[in-house]
Structure 1
C-alpha cells in the first residue's frame, strides 16, 4: 500500500504459490479480501491495483471493473498488439536515427483479447535506442495522459518490487520443507520480520541516514553487535558497549518504539 503523502510501502499479505500452478493463482481472491478490509477502514479511498503481466487475468480485471477498483497491469505482447504499435515503433526508429538519442513514444488503443469479456484501454510504449527496439504494453482503467500513467504509476512498481526482493535477506526464500503449510509458515514468519524492521526504519529511525536503509543493513548495524545480557528476576538488562558507534540511533529507535 502506498500513501500519497509519505509514500509508505506496507506489506499486506504473503502467500506462497505452488510452483506447478498459474503465477496468478488466487490473486483475485486475495485482492478481494484486501480491498474489503481497506474499504472497511477507509470507505472513500481510491484503490489502484498494479502488477506485471503475470497478473493480467480476465477474472481479476473483471472483478476490478465491477467493484470500482482501478488497475494498471502489464500486458504480454502478441501479433495484434505488435501490428498496432508498428507505426509508432517506426517513428521512434526514425527519430533515433535522426538525433542519435533514445526515443520513447506512447500511444493508446482499444483492445480486446479473446479471453476478455469486453474491450479495454491499452497503453503502448514504443522505444528505440542504440540497443534496438523495445516495446511494452499496459492495460488500464485510468484515464489521462498515457505517458504519465505509464511512467508515474506503472513504472513506480519498481520500488514495490525492490521491497519484495528485500525480504530475501530475511530468509523468505527458505522454503525447503517437505510440506506446503510448513513453507507457508516460514514465509509468514519472514513477513512478520520484514514488518517489524519496516516499523523500525520508518518510525524508530526517522530523520536519520538509516531511514531508507535495507533490512540487511539494519540487521548488521543494530543486531549483530556485542552485548551483555543481565537476566534478573524482574528486569532484563541489555548492556551495550560504550564504544558502540550507533548508540544514539539505537536509543532513539528504542524510545520511539517503546509502548506508552
Structure 2
C-alpha cells in the first residue's frame, strides 16, 4: 500500500494525473530507481489501492498535508502566519456519490474547504464536502485543528486569518478568540451597516465629478453576536456616478492598525485564488475520476500532499524564484531529455548536452545529496 501511495504521489508531482499513466510508466528506470522497486504498479493496481482505502486512511492523508507544511515551518522558522480560508468547486460527471448542485457555480460537484498560509503558499488543510453545502458551514470546526497545530509549533507564532463574507459567523469569530487568532472577515452589506456608514460621512459629501475614498470605522454588534466588534469601512465614490457612496465592510479583531492598512492586508487574500488554481490545474485537486465520495476525497488529498511537497522543494532548492508554478518547474527540471545507462547496481542519467538548465540542475542535485547525507 505504501509503495503504491508513493508512486501515485510522484506521478502527481510529475504531472501524470490519470491512473492510466501508471501503465505508461511501469518500465521507467528513473521512477523505479527513485522508488527502489523493479516492479511498478499498473492502472488496475491503482484502482484497487483506492478501493481498499478506509476513513482512517483519509484522516492520515489530511494529517500528512499538515506534516509536510509543519516540516517547512520548522526548517524556515516562520513565526508569522496569515491564513486564507476559502472554498472551491470540483465538477462531477454522472451519478457520483454525494454530488450535488451548487447554485453559485451553476454546476454539480463537490464543494471543499481549504486553508492556505500566504507567505509559504502551503496548504494547511482541506475538507471535501458535498456540492450543496454553504461556503462557511462549520468553518469554525474546520479551522480549529489548524489553529491547534500552529500553536504547537516549536517557535512562538502570531496568526491572522482572512475570509470572505461566507465565513462571517459568530461561531467563527469566537473560535478565533478562543485560540488567540486575529481575523479579517468581509461582511455582507445590510441596511443597518449602510446607515451607520452614511451617518459617519454626513460631514464630507463627495463631489459628483471627483473620485473619493474614505476609510473609517465603528463598533457594531449584530443580533447574533455575543459582543460588539470593530468594523472597518472603505467608502468609495466614483466620479460621475449618481450613487454617493459604495461601502465595503470588514469585521476584525485587530485593534491598533489603521483601517486603510487593514484593508490592504485583507485585499491580499486574492492570492488564495492563485493557490487554488495551482492546486487544481497543476495537481488535479478537482479530478473526480471515481464513483464514490471517499475515493474522490482520497485523490484530492493525495494531490494536496503532492502540492505541499513541491512547495517544500521550492523553499529548499528554488531560490531563483519561489513563485515558480509547477508547470515551469516541470518544464525546467522534471521533464527533461536524457539517456539512461546501467553500471552494476547504479543507474546513470546522461543529460542532453544542450540542456539549458544543466548547471542549475547539477547544483540542485548536489544540494539534494548534501541534505540526504
TM-score by structure 1 length? 0.85
Distance 1:111 1:93 in 2: 23
User: After the TM superposition, which residues 107-126 of structure 1 pair with which residues of structure 2 at under 5 Å, given as runs?
Assistant: 107-126=216-235
* 1:149 to 2:232 alignment: no
Match for residue 240 of structure 1 among 343, 346, 351:
351
1:237–1:90: structure 2 CA closer, same or farther, 3 Å change rule?
Answer: farther
Contact 1:110 / 1:119 at 8 angstroms: preserved in 2?
yes
User: After the TM superposition, which residues 29-44 of structure 1 pair with which residues of structure 2 at under 5 Å, given as runs?
Assistant: 29-42=141-154, 44=156
Corresponding residue pairs, total: 254
User: After the TM superposition, which residues 40-189 of structure 1 pair with which residues of structure 2 at under 5 Å, given as runs?
Assistant: 40-42=152-154, 44-87=156-199, 94-95=206-207, 97=209, 100=210, 102-130=211-239, 134-144=246-256, 145-151=258-264, 153-168=265-280, 169-189=282-302
Contact 1:201 / 1:211 at 8 angstroms: preserved in 2?
yes
Greater RCO, 1 or 2 (C-alpha within 8 Å, sep 6+): 2
How far did 1:233 drift?
5.8
Unaligned runs of 5+ in 2: 1-72, 82-117
1:140–1:224: structure 2 CA closer, same or farther, 3 Å change rule?
Answer: same
1:199–1:87: structure 2 CA closer, same or farther, 3 Å change rule?
Answer: same
* 1:193 to 2:306 alignment: yes
Match for residue 318 of structure 2 among 205, 209, 230:
205
How far did 1:140 drift?
0.5
TM-score by structure 2 length? 0.61
Task: Tell me what 1:254 maps to.
Answer: 365
Distance 2:341 2:184 in 1: 54
How far did 1:87 drift?
4.8
Match for residue 132 of structure 2 among 11, 20, 23:
20
Unaligned runs of 5+ in 1: none
> Relative to structure 2, which stretch is displaced further, 21-30 or 67-76?
21-30
Distance 2:224 2:344 in 1: 67
Q: CA RMSD in A?
A: 2.8
